[in-house]
Structure 1
Amino acid sequence: MSYNDVILLLGSNINNPENNVKEALLEIEKKVGAIIAKSRVISTKPVEFDSFNIFCNIAIRIKTQFSPFRLLAEIKTIERSMGRLQDSSDLGVYNDRIIDIDIILYNNIRFISRKLVIPHAKNLYERDFAIGIIKQVQ
């Protein structure tokens, strides 16, 4: 069996963000694949929307057997099970969220579809907080 090398970025800014991130990490290990590296946890102000709620963020590197679409489906299932019912891409705007899990890199592929773009350009190249913690797991 072959495994895929993936970097995910997690964030939460409501309902006890640190615990939300910890819970999501446990779910990822149970349902998606082994976590082989973690960045330090950082706190950041919201980006591209206004809120008084501070984000808890972490980047992780995982090994998974899932294809990009299967991985996306599993991540969305985890987000929904934790209480995130609407995705920013569906709403067309960013807002406070109990958990957000983004696929940043998947092996060395470039992939573009309506639902999934790899690499995740905003987090990989434009958002300073993300760039810093992603480098910790690359």
Structure 2
Amino acid sequence: MSSNHVVLLLGSNMGDTKKNLEIAITKIESRIGKIVKSSEMLETMPVEFVSNNIFRNIALGLYTNISPFSLLKEIKNIEKEMGRAQDSFVVGGYIDRIIDIDIVKYENINFLSKLLEIPHHKHTYEREFSKNLLKEL
């Protein structure tokens, strides 16, 4: 199986956000694939919902041998293991979260389903903080 280039965007706005991201990065590298590039961590205000908790975000470039849906499943497992109780999709909107991991790009795939959008439109085209982090990769 070939190795696929993937870009992930991680965010946390609960608890020790830096440590949350570091734990997630360790899990990603051990279970998903080799990280070859990362952006600086960036603190941002919440987007599309109101919260007093500031986010810390980072973008990662990595290589993986797993399919997009298997990648999504593994990401959701990591989020759940780290204490994320509910996904935004289930809740119907954005809420504070210990960890959020989004697939921004997967090779040159263009794909849209109810559960997965590649490339991730909001991070790629709309959110300024995302676009700034992605420029670093």
TM-score range, shorter chain: over 0.9
Could you tell me how far 1:15 is from its partner in structure 2?
Answer: 1.1
Q: Which amino acid aligns with 1:111?
A: F
Could you tell me how far 1:135 is from its partner in structure 2?
Answer: 1.4
Q: How many residues align?
A: 137
Q: Give, in whole Å, the separation in 2 of the partners of 1:108 and 1:38.
A: 19
For structure 2, list consecutive stretches of 5 or more residues without a partner in the other structure: none
The residue number in structure 1 matching 2:84 is 84
| Fraction of identical pairs, as percent | 52
The residue number in structure 1 matching 2:73 is 73
- SS of match in other structure, 1:114: coil
State TM-score, norm by structure 2. Answer: 0.99
Q: Which amino acid aligns with 2:29?
A: E
Could you tell me how far 1:85 is from its partner in structure 2?
Answer: 1.7
Q: Give, in whole Å, the separation in 1 of the partners of 2:128 and 2:10.
A: 15
How far does the alpha carbon of each residue in 1:57-110 deviate from its partner, in whole angstroms, 9 at most, with x for none?
A: 000001000100000000000000000020001111101000000000000010
- SS of match in other structure, 2:74: helix
Q: Give, in whole Å, the separation in 1 of the partners of 2:52 and 2:112.
A: 33
Q: Which runs of 4+ in 1 moved over 4 A?
A: none
The residue number in structure 2 matching 1:95 is 95
Could you tell me how far 1:114 is from its partner in structure 2?
Answer: 1.2
The residue number in structure 2 matching 1:115 is 115
